[in-house]
Amino acid sequence: MESGAPLHLHGSNLVIEESLENEIGWDIGCLEGQPFIAEDYVFGMKAFIKYGKGVFGWHGCVMLEQPPFSVRSAFKQRYRWIFGVLQGLSALNTNPMYLSLPRRTRLSLEWGTRYRLGTFALGSVAGILSALVFPVFLSQALDYLAAGREAPLSALGSAWLAFLGVMWLGATFIGAWHNLADSGLDRWNRAAEIALAVLIAPVAGIVESSAALWAVKDWALGKREVAWVPTPKTKQADLATIGSGE
Residue ranges of the domains in the chain?
70-244
Which amino acid would we find at residue 226?
V
Per-residue pLDDT, 210: 95
User: In Å, how far are 1, 111, 120, 171, 228 from 115, measured between CA atoms?
Assistant: 17, 6, 8, 21, 26
pTM of the model: 0.82
Per-residue pLDDT, 60: 85
Per-residue pLDDT, 246: 59
Q: Which of 76, 22, 29 minimizes the C-alpha distance to 242?
A: 76
Given 3-state DSSP classes, what are the helix, strand and coil percentages for the chain, each rounded to the nearest 5? 65, 0, 30
**CA 189 remoteness from chain centre:** 28
Series of mean pLDDT values for 10-residue runs along the chain (246 residues): 72 87 87 82 88 86 84 90 90 86 87 90 91 82 75 79 86 91 89 93 90 94 82 85 66
Per-residue pLDDT, 193: 94
Q: How far apart are CA 215 and CA 93, in angstroms?
A: 20
Alpha-carbon torsion, ordered 66, 67, 69, 73, to 10 deg: 120
Beta strands (DSSP E) in 33-78 are 34-35
